[in-house]
Structures are given as C-alpha cells and as structure tokens.
Amino acid sequence: MESPFPFKKLYRDRKSVIIFVRNFLCYSCKEYVEDLSKIPKEALEDAAIRLVVIGQAAHHHIEPFCLLTGYPYEIYVDPERIIYQKLGMKREEKCTDSAQPSPHVKSGVFMGQVKSIWRAMTSPAFDFQGDLHQQGGAIIAGPGSQVHFSHSDMNRLDHMPINWLLQLAGVQQTLDFSDKPTIIHV
C-alpha cells in the first residue's frame, strides 16, 4: 500500500489545477485526461501551475491509466472518497437539458460505455476502479488556503472545458483539443 499524502500539500506552495475523475474506467474521464495530457509542460511551468488528477480507485490502477491516456503529470487516488465527500462532490448523476456537451468527450454514450465495459473485462484486476455513481469535479487552489475556482460535475459529461480552467489559473496559452484534421499549406 502506498503511503498517505496530505491533500493540502498539492496546493500549499503554488497554484494547482486539481481534477477529480469519476473512475478510471469512465470513458468520458479517460478522454478528458487524454486531453489534459496534451497540455505542454512549458505552459504550466510558465504560469507556475501544478496539474493534478485524483481518482477514486486503488493505487495499482494509476500506472495502467497513465499508460492508456498518456497523462504525464501528477496523479493520486482517494479510494475511500474522503476528499470527494469533504468537497461535496455528488454521488449521483443529474442530467439537464441546458448542459453543453463536453468538448473533450469524443465517444458517444453507447460506444463509450461499451469501451469502458471492455476495459473492465480485459483488465488484469477485474474491478470497476471506483464507485460508478461518484461524480468528479475541478478546483483551482493555492498557494496557501486560497480557492480560486470550484466546480462539481453533475454528470459524466459535465467536465469544465480545459482551456477555461487554464485561463482561470493564469495560463496564457489557448490550446486546440479538437481531433479534427488540419490542412497544412506548404
């Protein structure tokens, strides 16, 4: 078992963007973290920002999830969901008509769920890698006890757009997260 790491250490010394994912099998969380992995290290360093993902699975799921998503930054787990609960993150999904679709989720609901189930079935440790009802969220905190922004997801598609989070945190660069092909004129 890994040793505990105090949550406050994540934002005590500098501003941090902290993303809480639903679970490591969630297709929308996987695709969101894939987009987080596209953030250039220099953009974070120039703004003195720390980027952290927190999941609610057991720690042995971290490495496979990072390999799957290409995520190179800090990642931790809260398997008992203590931080999720203290931050008031919901444990049920609420769908709304006014919700905008996440620009970071590329799969449709049906195919996304099929992919998640397939990953669960083919995983060496067959489990759901977290509470399937737990919702995630995002906070920007630090340095010290200052909280700059907080968002609790209402459902699996309610992620905060990454560019918004980065701009709120002070990153000057706007990134293109679309998977649309581009034409290069030579």
Using one digit for the tens of pLDDT, what is the confidence trace for 119-130? Answer: 665 666 555 566
pLDDT at 132 over 80: no
How many domains does the chain divide into? 1
Would the pLDDT of 89 be above 80? yes
Closest CA to 100 of 150, 153, 158: 158
pLDDT of 144 > 60? The answer is yes
The answer to the question of residue 175 being in a domain is no
Q: Does residue 181 sit within a domain?
A: no
User: Does 159 map to a domain?
Assistant: yes
Q: What is the pLDDT of residues 43-79, one digit of tens each?
A: 999 999 999 999 988 888 789 889 989 999 999 999 8
Q: What is the pLDDT of residue 34?
A: 92
What is the pLDDT at residue 71?
Answer: 95
Q: Do residues 128 and 23 make contact, with C-beta atoms less than 8 angstroms apart?
A: yes
Is 177 part of any domain?
no
The CATH number of whichever domain residue 28 belongs to comes to 3.40.30.10
The whole domain housing 88 covers 11-169
CB-based contact 3:59 (threshold 8 Å): no
Determine the residue type at 139: I
Q: Is the dihedral of CA 115, 131, 11, 145 positive or negative?
A: positive
Check pLDDT > 80 for residue 148. Answer: yes
Question: Has residue 163 been placed in a domain?
Answer: yes
85 inside domain: yes
